[in-house]
């Protein structure tokens, strides 16, 4: 019986914290994907030649590296959704989801400068992997893509934080409006109740009617 009551209470709670977490997790995922790419992506090195004359070429990242990037990119949004799922059972759960989104978004990009520098060092010829001496190297210079990726990650982080702050402001405004309307309704209901009480007619209290019997009712 206790489990049934707990299940009913859980189902009766608002799903707003989980819905908010799922919505804010969208820009957070792309922010995390850019950050994970800067932190983890590296080319495949191929070296050959005799000792002292080793030549090195860089090739596209391995499939395992790409898979690891995507898996790490999923961690922050899934963590946010988990917080939203737990917050469904807590008071002010929607606010908790928004605060968690802000904290996670800041944590995702907290070392973005270091990751961008390391990524540039791992791709000395740029992300197109073509040396500058080659006429075909006309896409990205070394460090150019990293600067763009860094700005994109920071922009998505700001969008995530902005959505969370706007959600908090909207929820706080709606809560304040509900409290204001409730107080106003209570203040109006009080005088009306007093007027209704005064206008209610009072029942008169009198003694039991006593009538003297008529002459025809007397017995001889």
Classify residue 37 by burial, with Cβ atoms within 10 Å: 0-12, 13-18, 19+: buried
Residue 217 belongs to some domain of the structure: no
> Could you give the 3-state DSSP secondary structure of residue 208?
coil
Residue 137 belongs to some domain of the structure: yes
Q: How far apart are CA 54 and CA 191, in angstroms?
A: 94
Say what the pLDDT of residue 72 is. Answer: 96
Say what the pLDDT of residue 37 is. Answer: 95
Say what the pLDDT of residue 220 is. Answer: 43
Range of the domain at 55: 14-188
Residue 180 belongs to some domain of the structure: yes
Which residue numbers in the chain have pLDDT < 70?
Answer: 1-13, 45-58, 131-139, 189-220
> Could you give the 3-state DSSP secondary structure of residue 113?
helix
Residue 158 belongs to some domain of the structure: yes
Total structural domains within the chain: 1
Residue 214 belongs to some domain of the structure: no
Extended beta strands in 31-127, E state? 44-48, 55-59
Residue 211 belongs to some domain of the structure: no
Say what the pLDDT of residue 149 is. Answer: 94
Mean pLDDT over the full length of the chain: 80
> In 3D, which of 108, 148, 113, 149 has the Cα closest to residue 25?
108
Say what the pLDDT of residue 10 is. Answer: 46
Say what the pLDDT of residue 192 is. Answer: 54
> In 3D, which of 123, 148, 147, 117 has the Cα closest to residue 137?
123
> In 3D, which of 167, 168, 39 has the Cα closest to residue 108?
39
Q: Assess contact for 149 and 140: CB atoms under 8 A.
A: no
Residue 198 belongs to some domain of the structure: no
DSSP state at residue 110: T
Q: Assess contact for 116 and 38: CB atoms under 8 A.
A: yes
Residue 123 belongs to some domain of the structure: yes
Q: Which residues contact 8 (CB under 8 A, 6 or more apart)?
A: none
């Amino acid at each position: 019986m206790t489990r049934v009551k707990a299940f009913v209470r859980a189902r009766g709670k608002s799903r707003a914290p989980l819905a908010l977490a799922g919505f804010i997790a969208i820009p957070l995922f792309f922010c995390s994907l850019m950050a994970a790419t800067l932190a983890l992506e590296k080319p495949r090195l191929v070296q050959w030649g005799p000792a002292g004359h080793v030549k090195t070429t860089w090739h596209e990242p391995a499939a395992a590296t790409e898979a690891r990037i995507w898996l790490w990119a999923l961690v922050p949004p899934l963590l946010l959704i988990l917080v939203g799922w737990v917050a469904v059972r807590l008071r002010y759960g929607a606010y908790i989801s928004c605060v968690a989104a802000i904290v996670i978004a800041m944590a995702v990009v907290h070392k973005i400068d270091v990751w961008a520098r390391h990524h540039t060092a791992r791709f000395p010829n740029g992300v197109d992997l073509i040396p500058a001496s080659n006429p075909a190297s006309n896409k990205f210079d070394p460090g150019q893509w990293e600067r763009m990726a860094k700005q994109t990650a920071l922009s998505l982080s700001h969008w995530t934080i902005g959505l969370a702050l706007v959600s908090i402001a909207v929820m706080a405004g709606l809560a304040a409006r509900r409290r204001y309307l409730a107080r106003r309704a209570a203040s109006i209901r009080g005088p009306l109740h007093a007027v209704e009480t005064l206008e209610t007619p009072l029942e008169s209290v009198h003694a039991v009617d006593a009538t003297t019997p008529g002459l025809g009712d007397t017995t001889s």
